[in-house]
Structure formats: C-alpha cells, structure tokens
Amino acid sequence: MTWLITILLPYVFLFLVLWGRQQLKKSEGKTEVRRYGKNQKLFSVIIPVKNEAANIKKLINDLAEQELDPLKFEIIFVDDKSSDSTVEIINNSSIPLPEKKILYAAGNGKKRAIALGINNAKGEFIVTTDGDCRVKKKWLKELYDHVLLFNSDMIIGAVDIIDTGKVSNRLIQLEFLSLQAITEIFTKNDMPVMCNGANLCFKNPGDRYLEMVKPDIVSGDDIFLMENFRQQGKSISWIGSADSTVLTYGPDSIRSFLKQRIRWTSKSPFYKDPFLLGISSIVFLTNLAVSIVFTVSLFIPSLWVVYLSMIILKSIPDMLMLITISVKRHKAGLLSLFLPAQFLYPFYVAITGLAGIFTGLSSLQRDK
C-alpha cells in the first residue's frame, strides 16, 4: 500500500522546484526584467463598497496620507446598495482626498460595481482594493514606481491578515500565508495562478472588463481577470514589499472562513486555462488523497504508516514556503501552529473543494 505515497510526488516536486528556483534567483541577485514604461501615468483607484460603515473611515484616512502625487491618481468609490451609513460617511468626510467620485451601483455584485467604476475611470491603470482594507502611506507610490520600472500589464500585490490575537485568527493567518506564498512563488516564476482583488493593479481594459470576469459567476473577479491576462500573453508581475502590502480583516469565525473558502472554490469549475486547472487539481487531489488515507486507516491500522509518511512528505515543501514568507512578514510565531494545521489542512481543502465544486456546478445547472 506504500505506493499511495507516490500520489504526493507531483505536489512535492512542483513546489520544491519552484521554491528552489526562487531561492536560487535570490542567491544570484537576479531580478525581474525591467521594461521601463512612460514617465507619466494616471491611476484610478476603484473601491467597491457595501455596508462598510465600520471600516470605511479608516481607509479614507489611509488614502488621504498617500505619498504619491495627488495629480497622479483619482479615487472612485462604488456603492453597491449599502443599507448602512457607508455612503453618508464617504460623502460627509472632511478628510481631504485627491479627485474623488462616488458612484451608485444597482446591488448586482462586486464585478458589476467594479465595471461601473472602470467605465467612469480616467486612469491608464486601475487599482482595486476593498472597503475593509488598510493601506500604508507608500502603497500607491510603490505600485506607481513598479509600473514605471517594469511596465507590467498586471501587478499582483501582497495581502496580509490583521492579527486579532485569537487562535482561530492565527490559524486563518497561517493558511492565508500559504496562499500568499504560492501566489508569490508562481508569479515570480512567470506562472501566476492566484491573486487578490484587495491589492491588484492592471491596465484599464475599458468596457471589456465585465466579459473578462464572467459576471454571472458570483466570485472570482480577480482570478478570472488574471486568467484572461495570462491567456492573452500579458506581462504579470509581483510586488511584495512591506509598504505595498495591503492589510485586511480575516473571517471572524471558522464558520465564516469555511463559507468564504467555499465561495472562492466555487469558481474553479469555470477555469479555462489548462495550467490553472492543472495546478488546482494537483493541490486538491493531493489533500483529498491524504484525507481519504486517514479515514481508511481508522479501519485498516496498517495504513497509519502510509498516512504519516504522506503528511511528512507533504510537509517538506509546505514548511519551506511558510518559513520563507513568515520570516519575511515578521510572523514566524505563527509556525508554532504548523503541526496541528498540517493535520487539519487536508480535510479543510477536501471539504471546501468538494463543496465549492458542487456549488459552482449547481449554479451552472440553475443558469441552464
């Protein structure tokens, strides 16, 4: 039965090779190819909001303190039919901002809200974030300088979860760090597979945006856009400096965390990019296999050795990636949760993956 361990080899090989390539580039001092852009750009910062009264004032404060020349960016809030005081807070804020607009969407979801913002944007580049995020003073300046230096069509920015001190929050942070590590490693190896709309910059696609993000699918405005850029051969780069990292609040409970992840995975049946489908399948099937072997080992004790061997083998690339990113983001303390997380993670991925696929396919059937 030890042949079951070989199921993990594609996962281990893939992540070890990519992690190793990234470390080799660092040791050799290699950087991304610079393709200097024009000297003047205009950013349109689009922020879709819905019922963000508790958070929006903090974001407005952060935007007012941006070190980028105010003539180089505009801010567009798009309210998606908030039922709280979000709009009043934005309209009545006395905090001086660069050119600011507030638009009113029809309550048809984030994708259409962003599309409305893009249709009213003047910028050559669109920057997106969320109403519950916090950004640092140099956020836009770092993105702007990156555009001038690398002339990328899309920039995937780092996102981090704010630490609340709760054990559940710290477990969620650790899981999110693993997603960020995968995002960074694949993007730096010119094979982007993930991104986050909380910190995304891309060339203005105009009225093509909505069709690029599959508007009838609830989630995935960021991933579908990235997939479209990939398929067109557009240049996609990563920015992960501390000043360019966007902070956000994670789910406030395990239940809301699982619901969020199911919503995220529900878009997977609609991926068109074979590479993206392949990577998603490797990660999902690896964790599903570990979960199945554990379950079967409850009835066939001889499989415990196989199960533990699979956990150890899978932990090698996982640990290397998490050590690298947690040290860089000054969150090495989270590694104390690595061992319990490793035993829980396969089940979470298997359950949310299966539930997400079922949810996505069910929505497809309803649409038909």
CATH number of the domain that 227 lies in? Answer: 3.90.550.10
Confidence of residue 247 (pLDDT cuts 50, 70, 90): very high
221, part of any domain: yes
* Cα distance between residue 259 and residue 352, in whole Å: 8
261, part of any domain: no
> Residue with structure tokens 């990519």?
18
Residues 241 and 278 in one domain: no
Residues 115 and 230 in one domain: yes
What pLDDT, in 10s, does the model give residues 148-170?
999 999 999 999 999 999 999 99
> Residue with structure tokens 């690896």?
286
Residues 39 and 11 in one domain: no
DSSP-derived 3-state class of residue 277:
helix
Residue 268 has φ and ψ, to the nearest 5°, of -60, -35
Q: What is the pLDDT of residue 368?
A: 46
Q: 296 exposed, middle or buried (CB, 10 Å; 0-12, 13-18, 19+)? A: middle
264, part of any domain: no
Residues 288 and 212 in one domain: no
Residues 296 and 346 in one domain: yes
* Cα distance between residue 8 and residue 123, in whole Å: 46
* Cα distance between residue 170 and residue 162, in whole Å: 9
Mean pLDDT across 349-356? 93
**Contact predicate 76/180, CB 8 Å:** no
Residues 178 and 212 in one domain: yes
256, part of any domain: no
Residues 207 and 122 in one domain: yes
Residues 79 and 198 in one domain: yes
Residues 160 and 196 in one domain: yes
Residue 159 has φ and ψ, to the nearest 5°, of -130, 140
Q: What is the pLDDT of residue 125?
A: 97
Using H for helix, E for strand and C for coil, what is the string for 317-361? HHHHHHHHHHHHCCCHHHHHHHHHHHHHHHHHHHHHHHHHHHHHH
pLDDT tops 70 at residue 30:
no
Tokens of 360: 């996505």
354, part of any domain: yes
255, part of any domain: no
Q: What is the pLDDT of residue 112?
A: 96
Q: What is the pLDDT of residue 192?
A: 94
Is pTM, for the whole model, over 0.95?
A: no
Residues 60 and 171 in one domain: yes
**Contact predicate 289/244, CB 8 Å:** no
Domain that holds residue 208: 35-250
pLDDT tops 90 at residue 359:
no
What pLDDT, in 10s, does the model give residues 271-292?
888 888 899 999 999 999 999 9
Domain count within the chain:
2
Q: What is the pLDDT of residue 32?
A: 60
Nearest CA among 275, 301, 295 for reference residue 350: 295
260, part of any domain: no
Mean pLDDT across 227-249? 96
CB atoms within 10 A of CB 164: 13
**Contact predicate 256/347, CB 8 Å:** no
Q: What is the pLDDT of residue 232?
A: 94
Residues 176 and 293 in one domain: no
Percent of the chain with pLDDT over 90: 74
More confident residue, 367 or 67: 67
Residues 183 and 48 in one domain: yes
